[in-house]
Structure formats: structure tokens, C-alpha cells
Structure 1
């Protein structure tokens, strides 16, 4: 009877070691850091153990192997007499002892596999952090008690790893892919709301997207000429109620400064004619190169404290204008602003009307495409067509990619105004030939 109790204790001890091994290895660092920041000293101990796991795993293997050997020795002696006493009722042949041994061996092995290995490890995988913080203190004391053996085997392992030029310690770096995977899991299980998921995803696009994807392009800039007639100035303010207007001398590439619409409105309210004078003219214009990413542009706005910036290309020509609101909308979307001019309009479940200025990253999310080909060479859907066709597309021309047809439905001069994107019945994925 004492041997059977011994077997039960060995199974229990083996289960504890198996649980601690899996729990400490599977515990998520991010969750442990949160627990440690909240004052959980055991969570901090688990983190420290994960940083230098060599001694811990050496102890685990020493303990598990010792228990397995001891269990095999004790188990056969403990169960064989009982098995033989039962078996003798149906069989008294010469192989009685051998059959009793095999049944005892199979029973002990099954008990160890089920209760000392599989079930404890399954439990540890289900709630690794909870198990780890409960067992970490016990495991540290056992490691200390087995210090001589731990130092020997751990040192020998490190020598072998160095011979084969394998890192002796794990380097944990949380990558963008890791965070995206956590976001996907959170969205799938409902712990992350759709708006939160979209917002976090857009933040990761800040380095990948450039000013050209959010700015108002050159042909949409409303500006004043320094010699503009009063009636024209008033008409532009009424039709385009912006806070600031650029002022130039002839064309946009000869900028003089900017003016606030409220200064002109004061003139009108006083009964004077609307005109631009030197007192209201702000000559300090904030310029940004079009090659800046959205992240770099946000930092530039933060340092300059300006409401808008003129975007220029490498030849110092004006290509657009961008405001802080444009930048924020670039990654926050309708969470902070909403306009009636939607860039992507869903016609039905298989087709969309898309503005030519739509950023390709936004369309890729709607169509659930990983990315467009050679995406670093363009920012907008119109740019994608021009890059793929190597020319300005004409109305009704189209290309196919990833099972979608991108057809030009409206062209204004050399600008692609609108496209019709639709799913094709026969998937022509990765086919970029112009039709």
C-alpha cells in the first residue's frame, strides 16, 4: 500500500514540474509586465526566469528524468503483486510473471502519461500566466536545492550551443507582426472593437504612407492672386469657406504668403471692399517635401505649430496643400471627421465606385488584398493604373489584379477621376495587362 501512495506522490510531483515547464515557457511577456507593474512580485520573478531560463530548464529535466526512472522502479514492484493476484484467477501458466510485469508497466506508463504529462501541460497551456505565478517560487527553491547538478548540466549545454554557434539565450523582440497578430486575435474574439482595430491598424501605416495620399492636390487648391478683384475674392470665400488661403503673384509657384478669411470678412462687415493688403498677409509659409511619411509630417507640424503646410516636390514646385486635419483623417478616418464625399462607395457586394485619389492602402483594406504590386511607386488608385499601364489611361480601359477588375469610368484631362472596381467571375489574379 505504501508503494501505491509513493506512485501517487511521484505522479503529483511530476505533474507540478511539467506544468511549471510549459507555463513559464508559454507565459506572455506583455501580460506578465502588466501584472508586474500592478505590484505582482511573482510575475516579475517569472519574467526574470524567462530572461535566463537555462538553469530552470536544466532543473526541470533533472527532476523529470529522476522521477520517471524512480517511477519505473517503484511502479513495477508496487503493481505486479496485485496484478498477479488478480490474473491468477484466470491464468496459472508459466508466463504469469511476465504478463503481470507487462500489465503493470503499461498501467504505470499510462498513469504517468495521462496525469503527470498530458493533463498538466494542457492546463498550463490554457492559463499559463496563472500557473506560472503560483509555481515560480517552488521552482526557484528546487533549482537552488539542485544547484550543483544544475550548474553542471546547464554549463555543459551552453558549451555545446557555443560550439554549434547557437544563441544560449532567447532574444524577445515584439515586432509589428506580433502586434498585428494580437490585434487579429482580439478582433476575432470580440475584445477589440472594430473602430479600435481599424485605428490601431492605421497607426502602423503612418510610416508607409506619404503626404501625397492625404494632401489636397494642386488642381484643387483655391488661392488668391495678389491683384485679385474684390468680387472674385468674395466669391471664392463664399464658395470655398476655408480658414486660410494662399496668396500668389500670378501662379501657385510664385507664392507670396497666406491670408486668413476672417481678416477679409472684417473688411466686408465694415462696408469696405474685399482686398488683400500687407497688414493681413502672413509671409512665413510652412513648406513640407512630398517625400515625408505621415509620421514625419505629424512631427513636423508639432514642431512648427502651423495650421497647414504647402507640399512641394524636389523641383520646388507646389504639388498640394495639407492640414493637420488631413493628417489626422489619414489614419483616424471617420472617427474624428465625416464628409459626404466618400472616396469608396459600395454599389453592391461585388462592386465599388472609387475616387482616383483614394489611397491604395485604404482600397486594399476594403477589398481584403494584402498589397498592390510595387506599391512603393505610387500612393493612389489612379497612380496604380498609371504605373501599371505606363501611360495615362482612357475611359473604359481596365486592368485586372487579384480577382478584381479596375475600370476607368471618368477622366478629366489627364486626371483619372473615378473607377469602377468589381469582382471578376473568372479570377485573373496577378494579371496586370492593360485591356
Structure 2
């Protein structure tokens, strides 16, 4: 290099640093691309995205090409920097070149370009893909040989590169939805998260308990039955004999109207219009039950335990409300089981479902045990409390206001004074 002037060497060094910055930013940009967005762009016909996607299908080749180019450039830059510094600083030139070039490469060829590529991966990776594809042709033998050695080393450690995990887990998908921000409206995010959570919720969590099932005793007086049929607010009505355990079947209000239009309307004709009961095993996940409803073209069923005893009633609308939120499908007047007081406390109907309370008020009551607040209180106290008994449950101060028929009817909850429960030693 004695025949090359120092100014020329400085220009060559600057070009090498720039090329090193290109390789560094290309590596970070390629690896920082959102692979799902890239896949969508590829499927939409974006030619550049398709080329980048093809390159990322073999990351070992891409990384091998980039590192070969980067190391060649950095080594050449180191040699030229040494020659320049020897000319300028004599015997101290080697030390000056080592420290000086390290600082220059870190700032201008590593940290700055990689930071830029991490923030704007598409703007860096897409243009760089054209250059990298062109370089792959002359460097392919070197890349192939390098990959042969490196993949062999990885196999010695029993690392199989063919088993790459490209799919998102259930929890990772929920994180993606949560972090979508303004790309997905908050309402739509809640619906998507509810769909993902269906497998974690069972029919027991949302069913109408058996003591709240609205039905008609077929053994009642006929006039009372007709009155209940004509004034009922439900589309499907359960018929039973004496108790819900002896259920006869469901009758649709449409069939009732058709029978009422006829002159001969009796218990016999009503029973002939009864539809067969669909039974649902308790503990069935909602995502499974939703598919069963769809497959069997059924919208309502009775939940039974392992002994065949009826535990509650589940409808298709109940599952849909878990996804889209509450909506009104009947003529019932709107009611509320919870009333907020001026002091920030809540008067809560103890028969309220714990999951509903947690969803509505963002509370953190435990959901892995009893399903109602009454059941949770009885489990916590291990006794049926008297009115005015105060206690703290799961971090929430509570006061029992009303107890009837061996059940807590109403509770005052001081949600504003929630404290995280301490873990026992």
C-alpha cells in the first residue's frame, strides 16, 4: 500500500465503514421484521416482501452471507486503519488504530445503524434485500461451506434446526391482541380476548342455576299453565312435572302461538309440541359447547352432573354474551344486582356470579372455587354468618347485611379498600 496516498486510504476506510454499517443494519433489520406482517404482505402480492420472506426461510444462509461480508469489510478496515496510523503516529500507530477504529466501528457501523434498523426494520431490510440477493450469487460457495460447518457443530449439540416454532401460543396471541393499540378498537380487542378465553370457561360458570330456572309445572291447573305461556318472556320454556328434576322438555313460543290459534288446545297437544331435552355435561368448556350447539343445531340445554342430576340451564345466547358482552334478548326490565353507594362501597346481591362481578368492576375475587359470592363467603367463614358480621375476603372488606334461608342475601363490599392478600409462609 506504499503507492497509495494517505488521503486515498482514508476514503477507502470511510467506504469500508459505510459497507460495514450496511451489513450490520441489514442483519438487524431482517431479524427485526414482523414475520406475520411480512407474511401478510407476501400473500397480498408484495414482490419485495416475497423476496425477503424467501431469504428468511433460510436464516442460516442469510446470516452466513451477512457475517462473511461484515467480517471481510471489518478486517480490511482494520488493516487500512493500521497503515494510516503507522504513517501518522509511527510506532504508536497500532494502538491508535486499534482503539480509534473500535470506537468508529461501534458508533458508525454497529450501534447507530442497528438502532436505526431496529426502529425501522422494513425501511432498512426491504432495500437491503436487493443487494444481499445479488451478493448471494458470488458468495454462495463460501456461505454453503460455512453453513455446512456451523450446522454440523449444532448437530453435535443435538440441536435440530428443522423444528423451528413459528406459531404463536395461546398466551402470546393474547399479548398480540392486547398490544394492538389503535390498530384494533378496544371493543374488538375485548371480543377477541373473550374468544381466546372460551376454553378456560366452562358451562358451570355461566349457566342459570337450577333454583333460578324459569319453567312451567305441567301438573298445574290448565288455566295457570295457559297464563304462564301467554305471559312468559322466554322464547323457549321448560316443562316439568312437580320438580325440575323430572323435566319433560322445552316448548318454543312459536309452537305455543300456533297451538293457541287452534280451537283445541290442551295439555295433550302441548306435550306433543315438546322438543327433546339436550343435556350438557358439567365442566364442558365453552368453546366445545359452542361447536356442539352449532353441530346439533340446538340453542339450549340442561347442565347435568356425573349422577345425571340437573345443575342448571345453558343457552347459545349465554355463550355469545361471553364474547360480545351483555345484550337484551327478552322483554325483562333491566335490573342490577349491585348498587354503588356514595362512600364508594357496593351493595351486592350475594347470589351474583363472581366472574360477572370481576368482569364488571375489575375486582379480583377468586374464581377457582364457588361461583357465587354467597358460596365464596360461606367457604371463607366456614359457617353461615349473622347479619352485621364484618370480615376481609381476598383483600376486600365486606359486611353481611342480610341472611335468609341459610343463605347470605346481601353484602356490602368496600372495593376501594382492596389490599393484596398476603401469602402464607
1:194 aligned residue: 186
Deviation at 1:39, TM superposition (A): 0.7
- What SS does structure 2 have at the residue aligned with 1:288? strand
Cα-to-partner distance string for 1:17-52 (whole Å, 9 max, x where unaligned):
111111121212211111011112332333343343
Which moved further from structure 2: 62-71 or 37-46?
37-46
Which moved further from structure 2: 378-387 or 128-137?
378-387
Does the C-alpha gap of structure 1 residues 56 and 310 become closer, same or farther in structure 2, counting only changes over 3 Å? same
Matched, 1:149 2:142: yes
Residues of 2 paired with 1:114 and 1:3: CA distance?
20
Residues of 2 paired with 1:340 and 1:185: CA distance?
34
- What SS does structure 2 have at the residue aligned with 1:256? strand
Give the 5 Å matches for 1:253-272.
253-265=245-257
Residue of 154, 167, 173 corresponding to 2:167: 173
**Would the aligned equivalents of 1:124 and 1:131 in 2 still touch at CA under 8 Å?**
yes
Residue of 260, 264, 288 corresponding to 1:296: 288
Give the 5 Å matches for 1:121-270.
121-168=114-161, 170-187=164-181, 190-237=182-229, 240-265=232-257
Matched, 1:70 2:80: no
Corresponding pairs, count: 415
**Would the aligned equivalents of 2:378 and 2:384 in 1 still touch at CA under 8 Å?**
yes
- What SS does structure 2 have at the residue aligned with 1:254? strand
**Would the aligned equivalents of 2:17 and 2:74 in 1 still touch at CA under 8 Å?**
no
1:12 aligned residue: 18
Deviation at 1:337, TM superposition (A): 6.4
Give the 5 Å matches for 1:273-292.
275=267, 277-278=269-270, 280-292=272-284
Does the C-alpha gap of structure 1 residues 205 and 370 become closer, same or farther in structure 2, counting only changes over 3 Å? farther
Deviation at 1:281, TM superposition (A): 2.6
Which moved further from structure 2: 356-365 or 208-217?
356-365
**Would the aligned equivalents of 2:48 and 2:126 in 1 still touch at CA under 8 Å?**
yes
- What SS does structure 2 have at the residue aligned with 1:292? coil
Residue of 305, 310, 313 corresponding to 2:302: 310
- What SS does structure 2 have at the residue aligned with 1:146? helix
Does the C-alpha gap of structure 1 residues 107 and 33 become closer, same or farther in structure 2, counting only changes over 3 Å? same
1:115 aligned residue: 108
Which consecutive residues of structure 2, in runs of 5 or more, have no partner in the other structure? 1-6
Cα-to-partner distance string for 1:242-262 (whole Å, 9 max, x where unaligned):
122122222211122222334
Deviation at 1:342, TM superposition (A): 4.2
Does the C-alpha gap of structure 1 residues 157 and 15 become closer, same or farther in structure 2, counting only changes over 3 Å? same
Which consecutive residues of structure 1, in runs of 5 or more, have no partner in the other structure? 85-95
**Would the aligned equivalents of 2:259 and 2:265 in 1 still touch at CA under 8 Å?**
yes
Residues of 2 paired with 1:324 and 1:52: CA distance?
47
Residue of 415, 419, 423 corresponding to 1:427: 419
Does the C-alpha gap of structure 1 residues 23 and 408 become closer, same or farther in structure 2, counting only changes over 3 Å? farther
Matched, 1:53 2:62: no
TM-score calculated relative to the size of structure 1:
0.82
Residue of 35, 56, 69 corresponding to 1:29: 35
Across the aligned residues of Structure 1 and Structure 2, the Cα RMSD in angstroms comes to 3.3
Does the C-alpha gap of structure 1 residues 132 and 368 become closer, same or farther in structure 2, counting only changes over 3 Å? farther
Deviation at 1:123, TM superposition (A): 1.5
Does the C-alpha gap of structure 1 residues 360 and 278 become closer, same or farther in structure 2, counting only changes over 3 Å? closer
1:89 aligned residue: none
Residues of 2 paired with 1:131 and 1:335: CA distance?
48
TM-score calculated relative to the size of structure 2:
0.84
- What SS does structure 2 have at the residue aligned with 1:310? strand
Residues of 1 paired with 2:315 and 2:211: CA distance?
16
**Would the aligned equivalents of 1:224 and 1:248 in 2 still touch at CA under 8 Å?**
yes
Cα-to-partner distance string for 1:172-221 (whole Å, 9 max, x where unaligned):
2301222222222223xx33322112111211221111112222211112
